Amino acid sequence: MSPRAKSVLPKTKTPEEWTRLFESIDRRYDTQIRNHAVLAVMYATALRVGEALALRLRDVDFDLCKVTVTEGKTGQRIVPLPADSDELRESMGKWLAVRAEWNPTSDLLFVTHTGEQMRTSAVRRSLALYGERSGVGHATPHMLRHSAATEMLAAGAAPIGVQRVLGHRSLRTTLQVYSHACDTYALDAVNKRAEWTRDA
């Protein structure tokens, strides 16, 4: 029997580190305003970088608090936006104002100054730069996605809900990849029960 492969925990950063990284983006420049918005959407929704860059203007609906992912690995899905999404709204508002000035013919949400679709490599390079600039170290789109998912689970979100957000084919995948976060939540649940029975 072949030895069982060891699971590799996804690399993440803390919310505080992501805050520092976002604050390091110099939004005096149009392209940086766009980059901030791309990353803000990815962090809020845990989208894959390719999914974020494939979004159309109509796909992000703040009135209904949802993002429609049409080019995900498992087909189309709906990802809810956080109820408290003021920072995301502000970031997107600034970007949409810049985008309107660029006046692209494409209906893609995130475009270059010439109206072309952003490349995933550009997002990766920018994120790596912001990681160095902010002092949080190596940062990638996958880290952003994994951090968002880990935070959801650690905060008590149901794994099946996180599965839907991430677009995993099965709940088992979510539980395997993010077992560390589920374990953290399980320990917290046990401790809270112990506190409750002690105070009862």
| Active-site choice (13, 27, 99, 178) | 178
Question: 164 with 77: CB under 8 angstroms?
Answer: yes
| Active-site choice (58, 73, 89, 192) | 73
Catalytic status, residue 146? no
| Active-site choice (34, 48, 99, 146) | 48
User: 120-133 in b/e burial notation, b at 16+ Cβ within 10 A?
Assistant: eebbeebbeebbee
User: 11-43 in b/e burial notation, b at 16+ Cβ within 10 A?
Assistant: ebbeeebbebbbebbebeebebbbbbbbbbbbb
Given the structure tokens 């590799």, which residue do they identify? Answer: 8
| Active-site choice (94, 124, 142, 164) | 142
The residue count of the chain comes to: 200
Catalytic status, residue 43? no
Catalytic status, residue 145? yes
| Active-site choice (13, 36, 99, 145) | 145
Catalytic status, residue 48? yes
Please choose, from the candidates 16, 11, 18, 25, the residue with its C-alpha nearest in 3D space to the C-alpha of residue 180. 11
| Active-site choice (27, 36, 146, 168) | 168
Q: How far apart are CA 144 and CA 136, in angstroms?
A: 13
Q: Just list the catalytic residues.
A: 48, 73, 142, 145, 168, 178
